[in-house]
Amino acid sequence: MQNQYILLFLLFGLTSIFAQEKPLIIAADSLKSETIDPLRPAKAAFYSAILPGLGQIYNKKYWKLPLVYGAIGTSAYLYVDNQKNYKLYRNEYKNRLAGNKSDEEYLSKLSESQLLNAQKGYQRNRDLSALFIAGFYILNIIDANIDAALSQFNVSEKLAFQPVINRNTITSENDFGVALNYSF
């Protein structure tokens, strides 16, 4: 008896399946409570393209609004801040080339190469911030589209995966079988 259980555990991972019964087929789809709107994903994407976050509101995923506006808003703030600092160091560098010194103490202590390095750093950060704004804007549109498409996906409570152990009692031999049943 113990050898049979060991054999059962060894054979459990194999893919041979025996089907003894015909599966039950549901003719009408009575599980969905709403009708399928094929334009729903396109509408959600369009709304998010018009105003970021509007597609999430259309999908009734209000909790995503702070994420959308936080990502785009933070990137926009960093863009404006880096642009301001870029102009500050660029103007100071131009004034130095014209022979003028800055009235501000911390700028007057910097060399021309330090001004150029700071200017390049802020320019790079500004450009990256602009890229992040565009990326989060596109990600917002994609999220609204996919969320609207998945909201119409039928996930039934009747979906199941059940392994079944069958013991053949018709023959005199002790045959075991493993079946994987999928119910829809």
Supply angle C-alpha 124, 126, 132, rounded to 5.
105
- Domain ranges for the chain, please list them: 38-154
Distances (CA, A) of 78 to 22, 127, 137: 63, 10, 15
- Dump pLDDT digits (tens) for 46-87: 999 999 999 999 999 999 999 999 999 999 999 999 999 999
Distances (CA, A) of 39 to 32, 44, 61, 145: 18, 9, 18, 10
**How many whole angstroms separate alpha carbon 111 and alpha carbon 93?**
9
Q: Which two tokens stand for residue 173?
A: 């031999």
- Dump pLDDT digits (tens) for 23-55: 444 444 444 445 788 889 999 999 999 999 999
Instruction: Read off the amino acid at residue 35.
Output: T
Torsion of CA 26, 27, 32, 34, to 10 degrees: 180
- Dump pLDDT digits (tens) for 78-125: 999 999 999 999 999 999 888 887 778 888 888 889 999 999 999 999
Please tell me the total number of residues recorded for the chain in this structure. Answer: 184
Predicted local distance difference test score (pLDDT) of residue 105: 85
Prediction pTM value: 0.65
- For residue 179, the tally of other CB atoms under 10 A from its CB is 15
For residue 122, give every residue at least 6 positions away whose Cβ sits within 8 Å of its Cβ, in sequence order, or none. 82, 83, 85, 86, 89
Predicted local distance difference test score (pLDDT) of residue 50: 97
